[in-house]
Every structure is written in C-alpha cells, then in structure tokens.
Amino acid sequence: MPFGCRFQLRARSSEAKTNLSAIRTTEHSYRAEFGHYVAASPSPPTFGGTRPQPFADMGPAGAGFDTVGWKPEGLVYFQYAVVVAGEAYTADAVGDIDGDGILQHWGFLHPDATGASVAGALGCAGVW
C-alpha cells in the first residue's frame, strides 16, 4: 500500500478515537450534572465506507447524542452509538474506511463499580 494511502487510513481511524474520547468526556460531564449516562442510537444511520456521511444528531438516528449535546464537526466515516446499563456504558464506532468489506471497530467500555459491563450496539464487547 502506498505511503499516502496508509496516511489517509490512519487519519480516518483517528476520527473514531477522537470522537469516542469526546463522547466519553460528554457522558461523564452529563452524569456529573444529571446523575445518569445517556444511551445514543447509531448515527449516522449507516457508515459510509470510503465516503464520509453527515452525522444525524436529532430524531431516531442520533437520539441521545442531542441530549448530551455532542456532535462531531463535519462529515464522519464511522457510525457511533452508546449503550447504557445502569452505571455501565459502552461507546462504540464502526466503519469500513478502506472499502474492503472488513469492518474496523473501536470502542470505550466503562464498567460499573462491580466491574460489570455492557456490550456495545455496533460490536464493541470489550476494551482493545
């Protein structure tokens, strides 16, 4: 793979890591103020593969992200979701940034005080 292509794929992968970190920060801030985490439906409704998609933060797609006040800047290559079970939550992202049919999964898992966790909506079942 040419160097330029690898650089583009790394840059696109960094989108997921950056946005998951922002979702984590927003969820913890929301919990500090309102006492609970907020689940968020997958948004955009589908991931775009090699073509970025607009993020839907209102309505069925993205419901929950609008509640906590999080929205990424611009178009996104990944689909994002948050699953909450009591004091545990998982924020995950999935995409196919190189269009080869093999999905790339990223996630952040926050267990509750007992160590119990919840699987993500998009395939994240643990911390990688």
Those residues whose C-beta lies under 8 Å from the C-beta of residue 44, and which sit 6 or more positions away, are 53, 54, 55, 56, 61, 62, 76, 79
CA distance 98 to 9: 7
Q: Provide mean pLDDT across the span 96-111.
A: 90
pLDDT tens digits for 47-101? 778 889 999 866 665 679 999 999 998 899 999 999 999 999 999 999 998 888 9
